[in-house]
Amino acid sequence: MLMKTAAQSLTEQLCARFAERIRSRLLAPGTRLPSVRLCAEQQGVSVSTVVAAYDQLLAQGLVVARKNRGFFVRDSSSNMPLAQSIKGVAAIRNVANHAESEAVALDASHGMTGISQAPISPWATAFRPGARQAPIDATALIRGMFHRASGKPQPGMGVLPAEWMETSFMSAAVRRITSVRALHDFSLHYGEPMGDTGLRRALSQKLGALNVHASPEQIITTVGATHALDICSRTLLRAGDCVMVEEPGWAVEFARLDALGMRILPVPRTAAGPDLDVMAQYCELHQPKLFVSVSVFHNPTGYCLSPGSAHRVLQLANRYNFHIVEDDTYSHLAPEHATRLCALDGLQRTIYVSGFAKILAPGWRVGFMAAPPDLVERLLDTKLLATLTTPALLEKALAWCIDQGQLRRHAERIRTRLDAARARSSRLAMAHGCDFAAQPSGLFGWVDTGVDTDALAQRMLDEGYLIAPGSLFHAVRRPSTLMRINFTTTQEAAFWKVFARMRDAMR
């Protein structure tokens, strides 16, 4: 809570709190700040203190004021002159001075903070000729990974806790391959263009266990799985091309494709797989060049693709001549027998992407792709233009971990531990009045809170918790009562008690 001090007034403290969150992108551009009255109640200060703090944020160019709507985080990439962004200040002050008017304005917006536009159907938007979507700022969640709200477990994180991934074999692997002579060679020469031969051989064998048959010559290593996805997009697409992406889906993928100038066609994700009727209509009307899919332990729902849906997706790809990029980031947490498009397709129209950040070594940044033979050279050219080669030292160390069975045994321990965490977290979520929009599985839970989770996210930040609101997982920003939780960081009753208190206060 804010407290008066000799060094800083309540107004200055409140302004600094919001300014820090805006600059660190924990509050993304377009986010609506709490109404003046609501903020005063939340922070335990007067309405005049909030008005003064919001005025300071306006003066710093961090927010804009919109008549009868409130204050919104300013998009720093916008060309709107700052003077224009301040035009609504007088009207907002009038709202603050007349509580009844403010209550009406708050009711009119349904109390929804963090919503910069009216709800829009992304499917309808995608069908408007020439329409361009505006994905939300995915960096809000990414920056949260590096800017922790507190020392508490963070429900919105997308990775396993660091202590879960601590091992002794990783350091042993590095020591084993860094003799004086070897370290000299690693440092003074570029690595192999396609990646370390030993690692690609190990990956080929590992993929074989998943029924994805790829020779070492079909595998290219990358700087993490996200880099592999980027290489695929830059190789297969040109600005303005249509790309089908599952929704809800990974916020980074929406934002990344939009930054490349692609037209995003969101495909609703069901328990069995993507909505095939929507995909078929997209194919008829827009001739998409690519479909990006997370078949196994889909983020954020945890769904796994059914064999029947996989078969029909591949039929559509062959009929309408588009490629499929299958992001299997969570493969280490999933059963080997799970249905994968690449296994059924035999790497003809599909490209398999995965990495090791989620299970072993986020800091090593080792990912890879397995591609059809006729695409390998094109994909390699794109990699070379961007990064030349990838770090040979870490790739050799990873190859040793795979060859010695260390990675397999580590993944088995993680899966056992994750199963227990999922059971505990699910029980706590339901005990505190939440419903699951999808059957709990994998690393993430897709939870219905019953309240707007953008507004909830701001309140939870005040309590030291970063959550992942549902609006982050849509191609076009819209209100959502859903949030994604990480089962490994939501096992403590303390979080759920705070969550229930904040949710009930909103109700």
Q: What is the CATH number of the domain that holds 99?
A: 1.10.10.10
Does residue 20 lie in a domain region? yes
Amino acid at 293: S
CA 178 distance to own-chain centroid = 35
Q: Give me the number of domains the chain comprises.
A: 2
The CATH code of the domain that includes 415 is 3.90.1150.10
For residues 417 and 465, membership in a common domain is answered with: yes
Domain boundary among 73, 108, 143: 108
**Of 74, 108, 142, at which residue does a domain stop?**
108
Better-scored residue on pLDDT, 491 or 181: 491
Contact between residue 32 and residue 66 where contact means Cβ atoms under 8 Å apart: no
Please, which residues bridge with residue 448 across strands?
435, 482
The stretch 38-46 carries a mean pLDDT of 88
The answer as to whether 271 is a domain residue is no
* Mean pLDDT of the residues in the chain: 85
Q: Are residues 501 and 419 in the same domain?
A: yes
Cα 346 from Cα 231, distance rounded (Å): 21
Report the alpha-carbon distance of residue 216 to residue 198 in Å, rounded. 9
- The helix/strand/coil state of 356 is coil
140 and 100 co-located in one domain: no
Residues 104 and 138 in one domain: no
pLDDT grade for 143, boundaries at 50, 70 and 90: low
Does 78 share its domain with 40? yes
Q: Is position 50 within any domain?
A: yes
Structural domain includes residue 71: yes
327-363 pLDDT, tens digit each: 999 999 998 889 999 999 999 999 999 999 999 988 8
**Residue 81 and residue 14 share a domain:** yes
Tell the burial category of 180 from Cβ atoms under 10 Å away from its Cβ (0-12, 13-18, 19+).
Answer: exposed
Cα–Cα distance measured from residue 221 to residue 396, given in angstroms and rounded to the nearest whole number: 12
**426 found inside a domain:** yes
Query: Do residues 205 and 407 lie in contact, with contact meaning Cβ atoms separated by under 8 Å?
Result: no
Higher pLDDT, 143 or 486: 486
Residue 138 confidence class, pLDDT cut points 50, 70, 90? low
Flag whether 464 is in a domain: yes
C-alpha 64/C-alpha 84 separation (Å) is: 9
Same domain, 68 and 141: no
Q: Would you say residue 230 has pLDDT above 60?
A: yes
Q: What is the pLDDT of residues 86-110, one digit of tens each?
A: 444 444 444 444 433 433 333 333 3
Phi then psi dihedrals of residue 323, to 5 deg = -90, 160
**Are the CB atoms for 468 and 156 separated by under 8 Å?**
yes
Q: Are residues 451 and 499 part of one domain? A: yes
Indicate if 145 and 88 belong to the same structural domain.
no
How long is the chain? 507
Predicted confidence band of residue 465 (pLDDT cuts 50, 70, 90): very high
pLDDT at position 169 is 93
Predicted pLDDT at 98? 42
What would you report as the CA-atom Rg of the chain, rounded to the nearest whole angstrom? 24
pLDDT surpassing 70 at residue 244: yes
Evaluate whether residue 351 is within a structural domain: no
274: DSSP letter: B
Q: Give the Cα separation of 193 and 384 in Å (integer).
A: 7
From the list 327, 393, 332, the residue with the least C-alpha distance to 165 is: 332
Q: What pLDDT digit, counting tens, does each position of 57-92 carry? A: 998 999 999 888 899 998 765 544 444 444 444 444
Mean pLDDT along residues 418-430: 97
Domain that holds residue 82: 10-108
Minimal CA–CA distance to 450: which of 461, 464, 460, 436? 436
394, part of any domain: no
Average pLDDT over residues 9-28: 86
Q: Let me know whether 83 and 146 are in one domain.
A: no
Do 101 and 138 sit in the same domain of this protein? Answer: no
Integer CA distances (angstroms), 58 to 48, 123, 256, in order: 15, 35, 30
